[in-house]
Amino acid sequence: MEKLNEFVFDYGMKIFAAALVLIIGSYIVRLVMRMVEKALSKSTIDISLHTFIKTVARLFMQIIVLLTAAGVLDIPSTTFITILGSAGLAIGLALKDSLGNFAGGILLLSFRPFRVGDYIESDGVGGTVKDIHILYTHLNTPDNRRVMIPNGILANAKITNYSTEDRRRLELIFGVAYGSDIEKVKSAINEVIASNPMVIMDPEPIVRMQAHRESAVEITVKVWCLREDYWNLHYDMHEQVKASFDRNGISIPYPTRSIRVVKDTEETAPLQKTFPIR
């Protein structure tokens, strides 16, 4: 009984000490993480890397706390590391997709095809990058939905980044009736372009006939603007070109079809009528 009591007392004290190490270690981890967050907020490190650095730092410190607690319990570090390795292997086999996302996160944070705050499109989804986590990237869509895309997909998919360059080219197509004076049409569009302060005149805007369609002649318009002015200029051009066409008597046609109606008699000539399709 004395030996049993000594055994229980000794291991009870070790368990108590290990629990104390875990509690104090957790407190120290939180304290250090606050210091890391403050240091990152004042550093010049790209904000896209902040989440990754904090995740790795927290994981590293938690492993140190666990190893220290295991040492207090007289568990050999090699044994503990072996247990962790075996558990890691089993978890890795069960979570192979997550490991792919982890590897994708490392690639994204290393090569940085986009950063927090950029507007991107990938995997059929477009939005502003809110966070880049180690497994998922969070996007906010224009209608304020949060979309989480696995990093494994992003690392292997085509990514369109609309925020990399300062300038963007706006391309529009306007249809006019076949009877319209094309030079007059181009002049009306050029007046709208010249009067809009958001248009960058170098490179020079392009206003040219693009194609002959069934019911209209298509005029293509290509103008440059600052990235942040793209959508405002897009809407302005549509509204102002329509108003300019109305002032200049330029019609925007709608599709028509010619239908021949023939009566089955020799005395009646074929009739031909045109019915607009709206």
Query: What share of the chain has pLDDT > 90, as a percent?
Result: 38
Architecture of the domain spanning 167-247? 2-Layer Sandwich (3.30)
Q: How many residues are listed for the chain in this entry?
A: 278
Domain spans, the chain: 2-94, 114-161, 167-247
Contact (CB, 8 A) for 63 and 26: no
Question: Identical fold at 2-94 and 167-247?
Answer: no
Spacing of C-alpha 6 from chain mean position: 63
Compute φ and ψ for 213, nearest 5 degrees: -100, 180
**Where is mean pLDDT largest: 10-14, 88-92, 109-113, 202-206?**
202-206
**Tell me: the pLDDT tens digits for 89-122?**
555 544 456 677 778 888 887 788 888 899 999 8
3-state secondary structure (DSSP) of residue 157 = coil
Strand 136-140, strand 146-150: pairing:
antiparallel
Q: Residue 53: how many CA atoms within 13 Å on its side-chain side?
A: 18
Separation between Cα atoms, residue 247 and residue 103, nearest integer Å? 59
Element (H, E) at 247: helix 230-247
Residue spans of alpha helices (H) in 50-160: 50-72, 77-94, 96-111, 151-156
pTM across the whole model: 0.61
**81 pLDDT tier (thresholds 50, 70, 90):** low
The C-alpha R_g of the chain, in whole angstroms, comes to 34
CATH code: domain 114-161 is 2.30.30.60
- List of residues 6+ apart from 271 with CB closer than 8 A: 260, 261, 262, 263
Q: Residue 216: how many CA atoms within 13 Å on its side-chain side?
A: 15
CATH code: domain 2-94 is 1.10.287.1260
Separation between Cα atoms, residue 122 and residue 141, nearest integer Å? 12
